[in-house]
Structure 1
Amino acid sequence: MRILVFLLILVNLLFLAWTQGLLGSSSNPDALRVQQQLLADQVKVVSRDEPPEVITPPEKPKKVVEVKAVDICLELSDLPIAEVAQVEGMLAEKLPVFKSERTAISGTSSYWVIIPPLANKGEVDTKVAELKQLDISEFFVVQESGPYNRAISLGLYTSNAAATSQLERLRKKGVRSARIIERVVKPTTASLVIRGPAAQADSLSQAILGVLPESKPVVCKAQSSAAAGVTAE
């Protein structure tokens, strides 16, 4: 009888130990799931299956290219000084945006050693006789009508120095009435270079023609050469 009671107690103890998991893993699925649960309060959601946000880089500022104003250069060549002054005045009054530059072109002159025109033929004959007495034979009487009619020419020279030398020789021989007159063969002229905005080139051309209807402005040589170089490339 004691043995039976002992066996029953042993069986109960073993059963209790088994249910408490002291004899190995429990077969209770709920207990197993509880043991395997994660710590939910420490779980962080990394992704919710959404595509990552696309970060667009800032656009680079566009480079502003400064467009330089194009200038035009026109030249008026070999103009009388008075006409050059007219164009300069017109530019200052109507087109001040254009700038001009004047370059003088020297004229050509001859230097005439003469005895000024005499009053009548009688005086001419008397003066001719005096010259011959002074042993001067290189002269002639101007016969053409005009301001020098009945003058006596004693030489025509291309330089003032040569004419002055001749005048001194004549005076040494006794000719006192001779003098030097400068005769302008080609008067002094000028060229005018005009520079300004190409956008107003038509206005410039019309304004020039309004002052000088016969003028023919041409493109400056430097600008023409530069344009030819660009075309060749």
Structure 2
Amino acid sequence: MPLLRLLLIILVLFNLLALAAGQGWLGTSETRGEPERLTNQINPDAIILKAARPEPARASPAALEPEPEAKPTPAALIPAPVPAPNSGVPDKPELRAEATPAPPPELARDPTPDIPVCYAYTLPQPQADELEKLFRAASRSINVSRETVEPANTWWVRIPPFDSRQRAEKRMRELKELGLTDLFVVREPGPNQNAISLGLFRTESSARQHLADLTSKRVRDADVIPRNPAIQRLEVRGNDAIVKPASERIGADRPILNRSACPSL
């Protein structure tokens, strides 16, 4: 009896072990099929797939080489800073110390100071007339005055010189046909050559009267001039920088002119 009881107890223990093994109480067992595998999964709806992480970039051989030691750059090779483009906003005014105004410069002096000068010319009246015209034409700032030093002593009624002797003689024949007898053609070389002389008079009034008589006889090309012209003194006054060059220029063409200083300025 005791042996049977022991065998029965052993048989019950084997059955219990077989039951526990079948239910998986004793550990994980092999998969018995798809339905059983699905039941063994733990909350399949909560599974989330994550993106694969990128592999770290591999360093190239050139990057692994040591960098060369930096050398100082010469100042001449450093590029100038590029100015920032104008954004339309005015820059802030730079504060500067107020400059002290420079004293006004002295008035520039006239390079040609007004130095009065006076030149005198003593010459016959016809030359004095010509010289006065030349000085007045040279500059309006030149003042010209003259006075008679020696009056004329004779006055000549004449017809001005012709350009040829033949024309002078032809005109003389025409005058003789009008009844004139006291006349002749000047033959001496000079400014009056080929002029026709109509008479000499001691006074200007007598010469003018004779000219009026000739005009009444239709002689209209005659005139009256001093035979021995009056001697006059021509005084030229003005700034030395203007009068002196004009005097030298006029005197260069007329070497007979005698220039002297005026008795008083």
TM-score, normalised to structure 1, is 0.35
Structure with a larger share of its residues in strand: 1
Relative contact order higher in (CA < 8 Å, ≥ 6 apart):
1
Structure with a larger share of its residues in helix: 1
- Larger Rg belongs to: 2
TM-score, normalised to structure 2, is 0.31
